[in-house]
Structure 1
């Protein structure tokens, strides 16, 4: 697998400018830092790995890059090792045993929390603080709708998350890229995917919200509902946020 990169002028307009804007605006990557991509093996994390390696080579950013995969089943991870070797970055791996009888309502949440804990342990061993997730603008919008409809909360996940009792910092450099853009980059570069799909993917409620976003684009004749959500989260009308006006009950 030969994934060596050459400078492409159009990459700056395609994805470089937006990813660098997120990095600069939210302080996601500082010069000289160690950054590790949470490499699930899907198109999003594979594309993020490519983008960060490209920016490491051809932008002003100077940082160390590695990748980590948390194995949760019996499958081969050679494709992940191969792409990291091709990019000349360190590949880290650990195994996580999951309880298969977890209730359906918390299955995805529990899996995510346990994986994050396993990643934190790996990063601590290698003295790495920043872990980059491959979430994009569509993920932001899906989470926003889920919070609104299911949890009656206004908001989505943050581009940068720091934990009170953990030195690990989670960053999301692709928040300004839509899923369609990520998909095109993945196909254009010819990036692989790991053949280990989640057995519960079809039951994941996020699929319904993903379809809803596509329908909203059609209904309102727009192409960027997800990017509009990201922009709205950065442009809150704080004078009309009701929670600021609620008085505590005595």
Structure 2
């Protein structure tokens, strides 16, 4: 088998990411874009492609990277190191936060109060990323969500009948509250497998280890199922994404946010999920 030419592979990958950015208007001239940087392959690719685009495109925009140490002993340290190294290599401003410093506990401690650690992890990561991006004056928050992530997330919400989350799907979210930084997903149509190939071909410093909590999650089971389907019927994932895109008729502008009575952050209810969980965890620890 002829080996992959990494230059052609890179060009084709960048072309598809640029298409999503252009087709959905993810970036505007003068934007300040915060990149959620975990040190994993998806967020690192997002950072590298946006950095290249900022230097080669007619659109002028600024980048800043935000990394969050959730506090997973023996695992998270390597990811934070990779995140820091990539931001430093590209000369991008880098902000590093931790659950312990910002919330008063680590994910390892919080996980004891939930069936799976993915529940508090997702809630508090989103909380800190949005709050930090807003404080930095960011116009957009770019995440490394790829094709696989999006299909998995939709099926998870579908299985839970969580209709409110449907409004969060798609490559771009509009600003629906002054404190809510719109999210963009440049890798929206890129399969996870291709992100991995990019990292290997270009010998990029990334954190490859799987989170020790991942195997207990519904996402992990759906991921294995979808990979099996894709292997038997190539193209299944992109077809599912296209179906979701066509079938979702919810007007995202109808989603209304308020401000949490405790922390003041955007929330669809009077007490945001982060504060609700924060209280449970702190009470349990005390």
Normalising by structure 1, report the TM-score. Answer: 0.80
Q: Which residue pairs with 2:26 in the alignment?
A: 28
- Runs of 4+ aligned residues of structure 1 deviating over 4 Å after TM superposition are 152-156
Q: 1:114 aligns with which of 117, 124, 129?
A: 124
Give the 3 Å change call, closer, same or farther, for CA 169–79 of structure 1 in structure 2.
Answer: same
Q: 2:155 aligns with which of 141, 145, 158?
A: 145
- Please state how far the C-alpha of 1:179 moved relative to its aligned partner: 1.0
Q: Which residue pairs with 1:169 in the alignment?
A: 182
Gaps of 5+ in 2: 1-6, 101-105, 250-286
Q: Secondary structure at the match of 1:158?
A: coil
Q: Which residue pairs with 1:129 in the alignment?
A: 139
CA-atom RMSD, angstroms? 2.6
Residue by residue over 1:46-87, the C-alpha shift from the partner in whole angstroms, topping out at 9 and shown as x without a partner, is 111111112222333321112100112263633322211111
Q: Is the 8 A contact 2:152 2:219 kept in 1?
A: yes
Q: Secondary structure at the match of 2:111?
A: coil
Deviates more, 1:63-72 or 1:114-123: 114-123
Q: Which residue pairs with 2:172 in the alignment?
A: 160
Q: Is the 8 A contact 2:230 2:236 kept in 1?
A: yes
Q: Which residue pairs with 2:266 in the alignment?
A: none
1:31-70 alignment runs, 5 A limit: 31-70=29-68
Give me the whole-angstrom Cα distance separating, in 1, the residues matched to 2:54 and 2:44: 15
Give the 3 Å change call, closer, same or farther, for CA 63–208 of structure 1 in structure 2.
Answer: same
- Please state how far the C-alpha of 1:145 moved relative to its aligned partner: 2.5
Q: Is the 8 A contact 2:41 2:208 kept in 1?
A: no
Q: Secondary structure at the match of 1:234?
A: helix
Q: Secondary structure at the match of 2:96?
A: strand
Aligned residue pairs: how many?
A: 227
Give the 3 Å change call, closer, same or farther, for CA 25–41 of structure 1 in structure 2.
Answer: same
Q: Which residue pairs with 2:217 in the alignment?
A: 204
- Please state how far the C-alpha of 1:42 moved relative to its aligned partner: 1.2
Give me the whole-angstrom Cα distance separating, in 2, the residues matched to 1:149 and 1:126: 36
Give me the whole-angstrom Cα distance separating, in 1, the residues matched to 2:243 and 2:177: 27
Q: Secondary structure at the match of 1:101?
A: helix
- Please state how far the C-alpha of 1:125 moved relative to its aligned partner: 2.9
Q: Is the 8 A contact 2:229 2:236 kept in 1?
A: yes
Q: Is the 8 A contact 1:66 1:89 kept in 2?
A: yes
Give me the whole-angstrom Cα distance separating, in 2, the residues matched to 1:127 and 1:199: 34
Give me the whole-angstrom Cα distance separating, in 2, the residues matched to 1:197 and 1:10: 25
